[in-house]
Amino acid sequence: MATPEVEPEARQNGRGADQRQAGILVRLLQVGAVGLVVALLGLLLWKVVASEASDLQSRIRAGEKPAAPAFELPVIWDKRETWPAQARAALDDGKLSLRELRGHPVVINFWASWCKPCEEEAPILAASARAHAGRVVFLGIDIQDFTSDARKFLERFKANYVSVRDSSNRSYGDYGLTGVPETFYLDARGRAVAQSLGGLSREELERGVAAATVPE
């Protein structure tokens, strides 16, 4: 039996469908290639940032006094009574950048309301802020937390120094944190001179403050 002849229009429609499918496949491959490049660039950037953060802490331990990573964050707890008078104006716009504290020794405490060791060290930090009032800036950075919970925590423990909140967790990565609490001690030139991992004792905190306030 003879094979029926395919109409020219049907053949053309078939070729058009094949071309459309090929075009879709090409576009999918292009999108996949772009996605792969973006993912690889993201991985490279993450490795660079992680390496720099790890380098920060190793340099602190080696006594190199690296510059502390900059940040600008919103203030969630404006208790400035223990701060040096010259530093208090930095809070008037409702946000704080680290560069505004240059000229003052700074104790940066990373914390969260759900953190049990943070509860245990809160009275120690408040007592030290009171003892060094007017001479050392104590600053809390709340991370991985809800603002409402953070404020309840600060109210509960009667925090007498300022806290800001990092909702992006960028500072967590910049400082190479492995958890909370962690505390960094900066001298008046903005250099990280010491670090405390985990919950603080009164003695460890005072050693850090002493390192940050050593005259040049």
In tens, the pLDDT along 26-62 reads: 787 777 776 665 454 444 333 333 444 568 999 999 9
Beta bridge partners of 141: 110, 164
Distance CA 38, CA 35 (A): 5
Distance CA 93, CA 24 (A): 52
> For strand 137-143 and strand 106-111, is the pairing parallel, antiparallel, or unpaired?
parallel
- Residue spans of alpha helices (H) in the chain: 8-61, 116-131, 147-156, 170-174, 202-212
Q: What is the mean pLDDT of the chain?
A: 87
Burial of residue 97 (CB within 10 Å: 0-12, 13-18, 19+) is middle
Which 3 state secondary structure label does DSSP give 191? strand
- Which of 2-6, 19-23, 61-65, 90-94 has the lowest average pLDDT? 2-6
Sign of the Cα pseudo-torsion (187, 107, 178, 94, in order): negative
Residue 90: DSSP 8-state: G
- pTM of this prediction? 0.76
Q: Dump pLDDT digits (tens) for 106-144.
A: 999 999 999 999 999 999 999 999 999 999 999 999 999
**Mean pLDDT over residues 167-175, rounded?**
94
Burial of residue 144 (CB within 10 Å: 0-12, 13-18, 19+) is middle
Q: Identify the band that residue 190 occupies on the pLDDT scale cut at 50, 70 and 90.
A: very high
Q: Give residue for tokens 């759900």.
A: 114
Q: Give residue for tokens 């390192």.
A: 211
Q: Are 102 and 124 in contact (CB under 8 A)?
A: no
Q: Are 144 and 169 in contact (CB under 8 A)?
A: yes
Beta bridge partners of 183: 109, 196
Spacing of C-alpha 169 from chain mean position: 4
At 8, list the tokens: 């020219």
At 57, list the tokens: 């802490």
Q: Are 185 and 192 in contact (CB under 8 A)?
A: yes
